[in-house]
Amino acid sequence: MDARTLREQILRGEATVLETVRSALADIDRRDGEVHAFLTVEKDYALERAAALDRELVELKAQGAVPPPLFGVPVAIKANLAWQGFETNCASRTLENWRAPYTATAVRRLVDAGAVPLGTTNMDEFAMGSSTENSCHGPTRNPRDLTRIPGGSSGGSAAAVAAGFVPLALGSDTGGSVRQPAALCGVAGFKPTYGRISRYGLVAFGSSLDQVSPIATNVGDLELALAILAGVDERDATCLREPAPRPQSVGLAGLRLGVLEMAPNSLEAGVEAAYNAAAAALEAAGAVLKPIALPHGDLAIPTYYVLATAEASSNLARYDGVRYGLRAKQYRDQAPAGGSLQEMFAATRRAAFGAEVKRRILLGTFVLSHGYQDAWYGRASRARRLLAQDYAAAFEQVDAIISPTSPCVAFPLGARTADPLSMYLADTLTVPASLAGLPAVSVPCHALAEERNGSGQDRQAELPVGLQFVGPAGEDARLLAMARAFEELAP
Amino acid sequence: MSAPTETTWVPVIGLEVHCQLKTASKIFCGCANRFGAPPNTLTCPVCTGQPGALPVLNDTALDLALRAGLALDCELASVSRFDRKNYFYCDLPKGYQITQYEVPFASGGGIELANGKHIRLTRIHMEEDAGKAIHDRGTHTLVDLNRAGVPLIEIVTEADMQSAAEAFEFLGLLKERLRFAGVSDCDMEKGSLRCDVNVSVHLPDEPWRTKVEVKNLNSFRHVRTAIEHEIARQISAYESEDPSRQPVQETRLFDVDSGTTRPMRGKEDEGDYRYFPDPDLVPVSASRERLEEQRRLLPELPAQRRERYVSEWRVGAREAAILTADRPLADFFEATVRALAENEGGAQAAAKWLTNDVLRIVGEQGTGSLSDMPLTPGQLARVISLVEGGELQRKGAQCLLARLITEGGEVDSLVVELGLAAVTDDGQLRAWCLAALAGRESVAAQVRAGNEKAIGALMGPVMGSSGGRADPARVRALLLELIREDGP
């Protein structure tokens, strides 16, 4: 059941908020042991808030007022969004037991819209990863196949929606961290134009790429989430100075869609079949398909891993054990003999971060270092501009560009952990739009590929595939309207 | 050829001045920018570097920075940018300092010294201050983040100074301009002005030798002592030709007690700062309207004011210099002149009264400056008018001013209350004159014999009888009249 339907039920009196929240909590209790979507479940808070909302509803009804758009809807929050008074640990030992002293703008806006946050969801440590296996609390499993990864880094949020624990969850997307897990879990995920949703309170990974991004069971709920989450925020200098966009309507007939040119054999067979079926369905509905190349597309992955790691190396410098979070044990009360401040920083950071985070901090420190900066960070910044120009040129010819969201379906747990590069390549199709700051949405498309369902020989063929739409900067509402029109083609 | 001596070495000195801007709040958050609050009480998620918190530029900090740039004749960039300077230290909450590295908001400009030498500025950039690490509390290091995020401008000069005296003079002029512009208090004791110096020496027509940076200079006097010491140290080292003593490029700390410098421990300042544009902040644009607004708000600077006082208002050069030492004083003076607009020579009178009497009385109070006292420019103007109109004598005016400065009050009623009104009644004056003449026939005789100066011996007693309220000129005229009337 999606968020809007749930709210309607509550307003019609078919269920109280308390019943709704209790049932979601019970579901989590029963099934999240195996999925492990949540890092924390704030039961007391959720039940108390639910009861308060039920009381509020009586008053609202008496006044004839309309309850806010997410009234009574249980939601999940990725563990990298500050939520005052609650543990916001980023799946890192660094922030174990760290309770945020303030609330992120996005979380505040969900709560103001009547939502009931149930807890925080699992993720790759500091959002660095594509499988949610880089969590200090252990991986999340894909609800569609518990032997497989849910994608990442917002794997916990995608799994929470896919498992039916909540209809709506917040994630964050830096290079595909919401779109890819949404695709792999068979739900809808949307990364808005950079700056559309305030980043205030989103624990930074790659600040010039990070966007708070919603995950839902369908595009309609994403449109609702955008309307609630977007808008001016004085606390984020990079936030757009525009009001939240209003939902639009777009017909597929005559819509010009660019079909992203990809290297041959770059997609898994199952993904290719689902994607071809989706493209065919769009064409049958009247969309005009046109091949589109991004001449600098090959530079996207190396560019991304230079820029994102450079920013990360600086963003994660604050975890030094001085003010909050983990401090190396030997330095907790008093410095050991021969200890120094620099040694405390080193010991603390050695103990605090997982292997992937360390790898990226090292990479980022290297690409910014004196004598190497222009060759790495400087060139990557120039490549980023070239890629943005490629997109600008493409959008003179088409309204949006389609591609699969991920070149592969969910892979088995552990399959790629030993090979970071193969993990990085899982982001090939999502990273370009991130670098260009463009809105991009992933919608499930596997149901359209009948031949896949028919084969039935291997479970991989039944795993979800996502179709990604990338649109021009600022056209978030139009892009979501297209995605919704596509979604309506699926049975 | 003789060996080089101290006098042939030429010192080369450049300064880096950090100056806290006088904003109500910090540069990237809403916390108060205030000195002296209990530790860590002026903090929030942003300035303590909490995960997820973001900086947003305080517009007033930008305005004051631009105004400082205008006050120092800099060229202002229409767009500047913030970068991150990455290093680890316990007083640096984010693990990086937000500063302007590649594109500062101001470049060029400078200040002219009294000897006509122009000291050029390389650049001025904005940045955030770090917190304060306190190391002398037993085994622990304590951190106070009240200062973290206080807006700073860093003013970097070219190495245009050649002596400690020039550096000292430059700093004085810089402070004067920034205070006049309302940009900063420039109070070294409160840390709102901090200065690092770069010193090297060379022989004429030879390249500059190794540059040494000296930090930890907490007063103008320390700056002067440190430069003097460093010049002497370097020259003596070069002249000794002892390889172990040759200056190396390093940062040295000034030791207040010994007045010498010593190498800084560790290599904390030799790091690779990995500067890159801060992705959390957007480019800073200084629109033409914004610059015009700051130009409008920029008060006339001390040198210009001095010039105007002397050339337009015929104020003495010495008085003009005193009056422009401090902006509130200069503003007080100008307000007094405005209030005296009707009076011929009002500016000269106001300058004299302010520099001679008012400042002396204020000084006698021990603490506080003129702006802390109740006296207003309007009152001073009224006092001056009364004097010029002959209704108040100098002595009486001084007495009145002392009262106005210490306790305040209303001029005309105080004149009555204190009995200070000038005695203009000729009958009364004549009576005092006759009393003075009685028994001083010899004086009268001298006057009659043509020695008018002798009359001075009669003036004192008459003025004494009047309690200083008589007009000396009138008394003198009356005495002459009486002596001649009485004569043969």
User: Which of A323, A246, A301 lies closest to A481 in space, CA to CA?
Assistant: A246
Chain A interface test: which of B274, B275, B281 (most A C-beta within 10 Å): B274
Q: Given this model, what pLDDT does residue A454 score? A: 47
* CATH number for the domain whose boundaries are B426-485: 1.10.10
List chain B domain ranges: 10-290, 300-417, 426-485
Query: Which are the contacts of A171, defined by CB distance < 8 A and separation ≥ 6?
Result: A78, A121, A123, A153, A154, A157, A158, A177, A178, A181, A189, A212, A213, A214, A215
Q: What is the pLDDT of residue A271?
A: 94
Whether B89 has its CB under 8 Å from any CB of chain A: the answer is yes
Task: Give the H/E segment covering residue A179.
Answer: helix A179-185
Parts of chain A with a pLDDT under 50: 453-456
B138 in contact with chain A, both atoms CB, cutoff 8 A: no
* A199 alpha carbon, distance to own chain's centre: 13
pLDDT for B396: 84
C-alpha–C-alpha distance, residues B176 and B455, integer Å:
49
CA distance A307 to chain B (A): 11
**DSSP 8-state symbol, B161:** B
A317·B86 Cβ contact <8 A: yes
CB nearest B45 (choices: A101, A206, A310): A101
Name the one residue in this structure whose structure tokens are 């398909």.
A289
Interface test with B, best of A102, A323, A353 (most B CBs within 10 A): A323
Nearest residue, CB atoms, A370 vs list B90, B93, B272: B272
User: CB–CB of B48 and A238 under 8 A?
Assistant: no
* Alpha helix positions (H), A353-378: 355-368
- b/e map of B436-449 (b: 16 or more CB within 10 Å)? bbeeeeebbebbbe
Angle at which helix A17-35 crosses helix A3-11, to 10 degrees, equals 150
B474/B209: higher pLDDT: B209
- Is A237's CB within 8 Å of B84's CB? no
Is the Cβ–Cβ distance between B329 and B368 less than 8 Å? no
For CA atoms B85, B88, B92, B94, the dihedral sign is: positive
Peptide bond into A153 cis (omega under 30): yes
> With contacts defined as CB-CB under 8 Å, which chain B residues touch A319?
95
Cβ separation B90–A341 shorter than 8 A: yes
Q: Which residue of B has its CA nearest to A311?
A: B279
Chain A: residue whose CA lies nearest to B40: A323
A370–B276 CB contact, under 8 Å = no
Query: Which of chain B's residues have a Cβ under 8 Å away from the Cβ of A372?
Result: none
What's the confidence (pLDDT) of residue A42? 98
Domain range annotation of chain A: 3-229
Mutate to test the interface with A, among B27, B29, B44, B50 (most CBs of A within 10 A): B50
Helices (H) and strands (E) in chain A, counts: 16, 11
Instruction: Give yes or no for residue B1 having a pLDDT over 50.
Output: no
> Does B466 contact chain A (CB < 8 Å)?
no
> Mean pLDDT of all residues in chain B?
89
What pLDDT does B5 receive?
57
**pLDDT tens digits, one per residue of B80-116:** 999 999 999 999 999 999 999 999 999 999 999 989 9
In whole angstroms, what is the distance from residue A434 CA to residue A174 CA? Answer: 7
End-to-end C-alpha distance for chain A, whole angstroms: 16
What DSSP string describes B34-48?
Answer: -SSPSTT-S--TTTT
Closest Cα partner for A215 from A252, A183, A257, A259?
A183
Nearest CB to A237 within list B94, B275, B280: B280
| Residue B270: pLDDT over 60 | no
- Structure confidence at residue B266 as a pLDDT band (50, 70, 90): low
- Cα–Cα distance, B223 to B214 (Å, whole number): 9
**B53 interaction partners in chain A (CB closer than 8 Å):** 82, 102, 200-201
Q: Which residue type sits at A134?
A: N
User: Is B43 an interface residue toward A (CB < 8 Å)?
Assistant: no
Interface of B with A in 307-326 (CB under 8 A): none
Nearest chain B residue (CA) to A346: B88
Which ipTM value was assigned to this complex? 0.95
Distance between CA atoms of A201 and A106, rounded to whole angstroms? Answer: 8
Mutate to test the interface with B, among A202, A239, A240, A314 (most CBs of B within 10 A): A314
B51 to A81: CB separation less than 8 angstroms, yes or no = no
CATH node for A3-229: 3.90.1300.10
Q: Are B429 and B470 in contact (CB under 8 A)?
A: yes
- Which residue is associated with the tokens 């200040």? B111
In tens, the pLDDT along B43-92 reads: 999 999 999 999 999 999 999 999 999 999 999 999 999 999 999 999 99
Place of tokens 């302007």: B100
Whole-angstrom Cα distance, residue B107 to residue B74?
6
CB–CB contact B52 A202 (8 Å): yes
- Interface size A-B, in CB pairs within 8 Å, comes to 109
Residues of chain A contacting B39 with CB distance shorter than 8 Å = none
State the SS3 of chain B: CCCCCHHHCEEEEEEEEEEECCCCECCCCCCECCCCCCCCCCCCCCCCCCCCCCCCCCHHHHHHHHHHHHHCCCEECCEECCEEEECCCCCCCCCEEEECCCCCCEECCEEECCCCCEEEEEEEEEEECCCEEEEEECCEEEEECCCCCCEEEEEEECCCECCHHHHHHHHHHHHHHHHHCCCCCCCHHHCCEEEEEEEEEECCCCCCCCCEEEEEECCHHHHHHHHHHHHHHHHHHHHHCCHHHCCCCEEEEEECCCCEEEECCCCHHHCCCCCEECCCCCCEECCHHHHHHHHHHCCCCHHHHHHHHHHCCCCCHHHHHHHCCCHHHHHHHHHHHHHCCCCCCHHHHHHHHHHHHHHHHHHHCCCCCHHHCCCCHHHHHHHHHHHHCCCECHHHHHHHHHHHHHCCCCHHHHHHHCCCECECCHHHHHHHHHHHHCCCHHHHHHHHCCCHHHHHHHHHHHHHHHCCCECHHHHHHHHHHHHHHHCC
Would you call B272 an interface residue with chain A, using a CB distance cutoff of 8 Å?
A: yes
Cβ contact (<8 Å) for A235 and B51? no
Query: Over the stretch B329-381, which tens digit does the pLDDT of each residue have?
Result: 999 999 999 998 867 788 989 999 999 999 888 888 877 788 888 999 999 99
Residues 6+ apart with CB under 8 A from B156: B14, B15, B16, B17, B121, B122, B123, B124
* HEC readout, A100-159: CCCCCHHHHHHHHCCCEEEEEECCCHHHCCCCCCCCCCCCCCECCECCECCCCCCHHHHH
Model pTM score: 0.88
Please state, in angstroms and rounded to a whole number, the distance separating the CA atoms of residues A73 and A61.
Answer: 18
Q: What is the reported pLDDT for B232?
A: 95
Q: Measure in Å the smallest separation between the Cα of A488 and chain B Cα atoms.
A: 37
Q: A468, A441 in Cβ contact below 8 A?
A: yes
> Which residues does residue B201 pair with via DSSP β-bridges, in sequence order?
B11
Spatial distance between the Cα atoms of B43 and B56, rounded to a whole number of angstroms: 15
The CA distance from A394 to the nearest CA of chain B, in Å, is 26
Rounded to an integer, what distance in angstroms lies between the CA atom of residue B323 and that of residue B329? 6
Q: Which amino acid is at B275?
A: Y
Catalytic residues of A: 78, 153, 177
